[in-house]
């Protein structure tokens, strides 16, 4: 079976380039003095017993990020970014993640803390590793890269070949070939991306008795050299077939060379379903785990996307080539690996010629697959590095260590990467194109240890699951806890008002009209009242006219004309004077109260309005296109007009302390300020907001109340409020980060509603740990 021929003859190119990807990345938590952190794994990250993404490796201070398996490398990187955000923000404020594979300043071997959680098996296994390899060695961190072909590709190939009787046979053969050839050629990747040229001298001072000759100069990869942790030399596994692979490992366990199957540290581990190797014999190989990758300290994720794509291309090439590496070729390849690891980063590879041949082969595969120019570019860059060793990662890292010193170099990068994750706390990097509340919810779910799947990214559709609870959430706020009809009730302002009025709540009086004539006929109904004329379905205040005094008939008609342009039904409502507050009701409680103030600047007696706006817009909480909790204040026609009405221009200099408004409407989306009022609001209004939500039979809603004085309690005789709207899609992000006051993390409330037991469990755990 010639796989390349089958692919080419049967147009399987695009399927071939698909696949499933997962990345595991370890790293060390580091304290301000660049020492291994002695603190506990962050409490907020739920329990490591079930956390799907954020675990610990050998040491308590060695968090491990595990992305879920994704059907594209891009998505895997999205997850890697997101998980870094969650980890960074959960850690103690003064800690950072050490970006290098080789460790930070380690304490004495005995003091390196093994993981501290309540799983005797985990502790026992790690104690064995400490005894067998030494604790210091176990702190070396790296990247594991999991890869499988797409099911459809394997199916496609299976249909077109005659060699294998079953799909499992074919599948096993593909993964065996991939692994064997990888082990034969992986030195090429190490040359390009090895990135652990140096270690702090403390690392070499190991009690394990396995001291080797400390290198006199930088190398390509200490982690992949004899200083790294590998299985003991006698553990050599056969990649002829899955059968021989499994039997060999089982044998080493039986003979005591390995304590258990998972101690096999080969750079290409075959993986089946579940943990047991035996099972893999039945179900076939599902994916391969590649383990030889150093952390790339120059990239905030420990691996760059270009690097990942190159690895993928390399994997493809490993099965594209005709032959499968023999046992001898693998052993030879592993020798080349060790040699490459030990090479000086600035030296030309000992295997330059062979490397260039391989790259040439990869290039021809890229052409055969009609992949785009970017892939060629990746290979061209690799080729160049074989001529220019100073451009390799190890050389660049070594240069910077030489220049700044090992500790400073790593610390600066570690802090910079942490800063990237924390500077815009409302963003979940990797998913920053999604609606903000969904990003917050994903963040909180990941933190809690809930499994998150993005079911439809453009539609902000998440699947959240933990054990046997499965919940789907859209826009962060639409869940299984609300009813279909309550959604449509809130969508329909007239229906909402009717229900609330019948339930005894105050709503503005008014009428619904289907033509200008009908509305004009009812002009006198609103006599001497301030009124609002608005399209039945309003959005962001479009088409609304507010008359704080009863308008003359001409103005009334003009307002109708405007409103009827937006909708074929128009509401005329009593205008209720007072201040509008947004009550976010969540599961029968008020989660947050917000006051929205129209876009404004406050004079300092020196700056122009122009400058004051720019200054206010510098706040990282402000952004464009709903990509930040608050919006930029614009300098458009409406703002110009608003200033003109106050006899001002953008060049005016308001006196110190004077507030200048740039908008009439208070929407956050037009630059308004958000002020948290959760504590300030009189409790009686909270009860009303909750009552309204109950009357509408809804668990998640944004209730807009007009309240003349929030300090005067609402009573039966003097209700002191009017409900103008119940929002079926209320923004949670608006409450999370505010201009003034305390942010309210409503997304946690959503999780508490959906996973009450899990949240309770996490709370107890934090309390216990804090005891």
Q: Give contact residues for a second copy (rule: CB under 8 A).
A: 10-15, 152, 156, 455-456, 458-459, 461, 463, 471-474, 478-489, 492, 494-495, 498-499, 509, 514, 521-525, 527, 569, 697
Q: Smallest gap, in angstroms, from Cβ of residue 78 to a second copy?
A: 16
3-state secondary structure of 72: coil
The answer to whether 135 touches 127, Cβ cutoff 8 Å, is: no
Q: Smallest gap, in angstroms, from Cβ of residue 489 to a second copy?
A: 6
Q: Smallest gap, in angstroms, from Cβ of residue 485 to a second copy?
A: 5
Rounded-to-integer distance, Cα 140 and Cα 304, Å: 19
Which lies closer to a second copy via its Cβ, residue 152 or residue 166? 152
Q: What is the dihedral of CA 733, 734, 739, 744, to 10 degrees?
A: -60
Start-to-end CA distance of the chain, whole Å, equals 64
Beta strands per DSSP E along 73-124: 96-98
Which lies closer to a second copy via its Cβ, residue 201 or residue 372? 372
Rounded-to-integer distance, Cα 544 and Cα 370, Å: 55
Q: Smallest gap, in angstroms, from Cβ of residue 568 to a second copy?
A: 8
Locate 583 and state its tokens.
């009550």
The answer to whether 174 touches 149, Cβ cutoff 8 Å, is: yes
Looking up tokens 């330059």, which residue turns up? 352
Rounded-to-integer distance, Cα 717 and Cα 707, Å: 15
Locate 675 and state its tokens.
């002020």
The whole-angstrom distance between residue 514's C-alpha and the CA centroid of its chain comes to 47
Which lies closer to a second copy via its Cβ, residue 45 or residue 170? 170
The answer to whether 443 touches 747, Cβ cutoff 8 Å, is: yes
Which lies closer to a second copy via its Cβ, residue 383 or residue 537? 537
Q: Smallest gap, in angstroms, from Cβ of residue 699 to a second copy?
A: 9
Which lies closer to a second copy via its Cβ, residue 517 or residue 740? 517
Which lies closer to a second copy via its Cβ, residue 419 or residue 453? 453
Q: How many CB atoms lie within 10 A of CB 111?
A: 10
Backbone angles phi, psi at 89, to 5 degrees: -75, -20
Which lies closer to a second copy via its Cβ, residue 160 or residue 610? 160
The answer to whether 138 touches 129, Cβ cutoff 8 Å, is: yes
Which lies closer to a second copy via its Cβ, residue 680 or residue 697? 697
Those residues whose C-beta lies under 8 Å from the C-beta of residue 205, and which sit 6 or more positions away, are: none
Which lies closer to a second copy via its Cβ, residue 15 or residue 533? 15
Which lies closer to a second copy via its Cβ, residue 152 or residue 241? 152
Spell 11-26 as b/e; 16+ CB within 10 A means b: ebeebbbebbbbbbbb
3-state secondary structure of 434: coil
DSSP state of 576: P
Which lies closer to a second copy via its Cβ, residue 344 or residue 492? 492
Q: Smallest gap, in angstroms, from Cβ of residue 520 to a second copy?
A: 9
Report the DSSP pairing between strands 268-271 and 20-26. Answer: unpaired
Rounded-to-integer distance, Cα 607 and Cα 611, Å: 6
Which lies closer to a second copy via its Cβ, residue 229 or residue 513? 513
Our CA angle for 695, 502, 592, nearest 5°, is 35
The answer to whether 58 touches 13, Cβ cutoff 8 Å, is: no
- Closest C-alpha to 103, from 26, 50, 157: 26
Q: Smallest gap, in angstroms, from Cβ of residue 697 to a second copy?
A: 6
Which lies closer to a second copy via its Cβ, residue 461 or residue 661? 461
Rounded-to-integer distance, Cα 560 and Cα 572, Å: 9
- Closest C-alpha to 596, from 664, 680, 666: 666
Q: Smallest gap, in angstroms, from Cβ of residue 257 to a second copy?
A: 41
Q: Smallest gap, in angstroms, from Cβ of residue 40 to a second copy?
A: 36
Which lies closer to a second copy via its Cβ, residue 420 or residue 550? 550
Q: Smallest gap, in angstroms, from Cβ of residue 706 to a second copy?
A: 21
Q: Smallest gap, in angstroms, from Cβ of residue 115 to a second copy?
A: 33
Q: Smallest gap, in angstroms, from Cβ of residue 487 to a second copy?
A: 5
Q: How many CB atoms lie within 10 A of CB 657?
A: 9
Rounded-to-integer distance, Cα 385 and Cα 192, Å: 7
Q: Smallest gap, in angstroms, from Cβ of residue 227 to a second copy?
A: 44
Q: Smallest gap, in angstroms, from Cβ of residue 488 to a second copy?
A: 5
Q: Smallest gap, in angstroms, from Cβ of residue 459 to a second copy?
A: 5
Which lies closer to a second copy via its Cβ, residue 15 or residue 45? 15
3-state secondary structure of 598: coil
Q: Smallest gap, in angstroms, from Cβ of residue 666 to a second copy?
A: 28
- Closest C-alpha to 219, from 349, 344, 388, 389: 344
Q: What is the dihedral of CA 644, 649, 653, 655, to 10 degrees?
A: 10
Which lies closer to a second copy via its Cβ, residue 243 or residue 459? 459
Residue 533 β-bridge partners: 545, 572
Which lies closer to a second copy via its Cβ, residue 13 or residue 132? 13
Q: Smallest gap, in angstroms, from Cβ of residue 315 to a second copy?
A: 20
Locate 613 and state its tokens.
């706006």
**Three-state secondary structure along 199-258?**
CCHHHHCCCCCCCCCCCCCCCCECCCCCCCCCCCCCCCCCCCCHHHHHHHHHHHHHCCCC
The answer to whether 711 touches 740, Cβ cutoff 8 Å, is: no
């Amino acid at each position: 079976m010639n796989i390349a021929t089958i692919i080419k003859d049967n147009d399987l190119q695009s399927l071939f380039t698909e696949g499933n990807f997962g990345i595991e990345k370890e790293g060390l938590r580091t304290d301000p003095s660049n020492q291994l952190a002695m603190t506990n794994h962050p409490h907020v990250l739920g329990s490591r017993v079930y956390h799907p993404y954020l675990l610990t490796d050998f040491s308590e201070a060695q968090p491990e990020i595990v992305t879920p398996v994704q059907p594209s490398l891009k998505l895997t990187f999205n997850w890697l970014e997101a998980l870094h955000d969650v980890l960074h923000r959960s850690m103690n404020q003064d800690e950072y993640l050490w970006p290098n594979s080789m460790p930070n300043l380690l304490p004495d071997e005995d003091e390196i803390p093994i993981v501290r959680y309540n799983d005797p098996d985990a502790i026992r296994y790690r104690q064995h590793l400490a005894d067998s390899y030494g604790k210091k060695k176990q702190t070396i961190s790296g990247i594991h890269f999991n890869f499988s072909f797409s099911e459809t590709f394997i199916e496609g190939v299976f249909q077109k070949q005659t060699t294998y009787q079953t799909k499992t046979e074919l599948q096993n053969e593909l993964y065996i070939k991939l692994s064997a050839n990888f082990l034969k050629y992986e030195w090429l990747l190490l040359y390009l991306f090895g990135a652990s040229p140096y270690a702090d001298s403390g690392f070499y001072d190991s009690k394990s008795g396995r001291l080797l000759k400390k290198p006199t100069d930088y190398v390509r990869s200490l982690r992949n050299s004899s200083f790294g942790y590998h299985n003991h030399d006698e553990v050599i596994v056969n990649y002829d077939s899955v059968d021989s692979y499994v039997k060999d490992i089982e044998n080493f366990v039986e003979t005591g060379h390995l304590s258990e199957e998972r101690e096999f540290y080969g750079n290409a581990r075959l993986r089946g379903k579940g943990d047991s190797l035996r099972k893999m014999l039945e179900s076939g190989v599902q994916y391969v785990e590649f383990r030889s990758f150093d952390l790339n300290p120059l990239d905030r994720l420990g691996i760059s996307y270009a690097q990942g794509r190159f690895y993928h291309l390399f994997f493809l090439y490993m099965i594209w080539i005709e032959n499968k590496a023999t046992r001898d070729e693998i052993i030879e390849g592993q020798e080349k690996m060790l040699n490459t690891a030990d090479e000086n980063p600035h030296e030309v590879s000992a295997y330059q010629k062979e490397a260039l041949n391989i790259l040439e082969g990869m290039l021809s595969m890229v052409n055969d697959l009609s992949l785009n120019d970017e892939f060629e570019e990746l290979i061209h860059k690799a080729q160049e590095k074989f001529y220019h060793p100073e451009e390799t990662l190890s050389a660049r890292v070594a240069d910077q260590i030489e220049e700044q010193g090992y500790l400073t170099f790593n610390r600066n990068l570690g802090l910079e990467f942490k800063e990237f994750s924390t500077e815009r706390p409302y963003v979940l990097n990797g998913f920053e194109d999604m609606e903000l509340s969904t990003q917050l919810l994903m963040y909180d779910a990941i933190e809690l240890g809930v499994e998150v799947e993005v079911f439809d990214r453009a539609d902000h559709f998440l699947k959240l699951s933990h054990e046997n609870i499965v919940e789907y959430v859209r826009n962060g706020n639409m869940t299984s806890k609300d009813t279909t009809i309550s959604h449509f009730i809130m969508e329909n302002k007239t229906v909402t008002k009717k229900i609330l009025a019948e339930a005894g709540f105050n709503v503005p009086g008014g009428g619904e009209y289907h033509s200008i004539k009908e509305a004009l006929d009812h002009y006198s109904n609103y006599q001497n009242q301030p009124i609002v004329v608005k399209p039945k379905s309003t959005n962001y205040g479009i088409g609304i006219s507010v008359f704080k005094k009863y308008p003359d008939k001409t103005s009334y008609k003009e307002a109708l004309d405007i409103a009827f342009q937006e909708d074929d039904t128009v509401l005329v409502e009593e205008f209720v004077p007072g201040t509008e507050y947004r009550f976010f009701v969540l599961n029968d409680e008020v989660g947050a109260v917000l006051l929205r103030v129209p876009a404004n600047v406050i004079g300092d007696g020196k700056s122009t309005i122009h400058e004051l706006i720019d200054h206010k817009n510098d706040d990282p909480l402000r952004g464009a296109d709903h990509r930040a909790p608050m919006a930029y204040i614009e300098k458009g026609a409406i703002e110009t007009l608003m200033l003109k009405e106050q006899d001002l221009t953008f060049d005016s200099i308001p006196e110190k302390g004077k507030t200048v408004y740039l908008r009439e409407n208070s929407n956050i989306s037009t630059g308004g300020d958000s002020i948290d009022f959760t504590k300030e609001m009189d409790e009686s209004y909270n009860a009303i907001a909750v009552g309204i939500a109950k009357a509408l039979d809804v668990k998640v809603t944004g209730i807009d109340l007009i309240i003349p004085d929030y300090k005067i309690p609402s009573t039966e005789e003097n209700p002191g409020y009017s409900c103008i709207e119940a929002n079926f899609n209320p923004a949670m992000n608006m409450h999370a980060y505010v201009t003034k006051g305390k942010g309210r993390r409503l997304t946690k409330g959503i999780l508490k509603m959906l996973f009450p037991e899990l949240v309770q469990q996490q709370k107890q755990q934090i309390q216990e740990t804090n005891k």
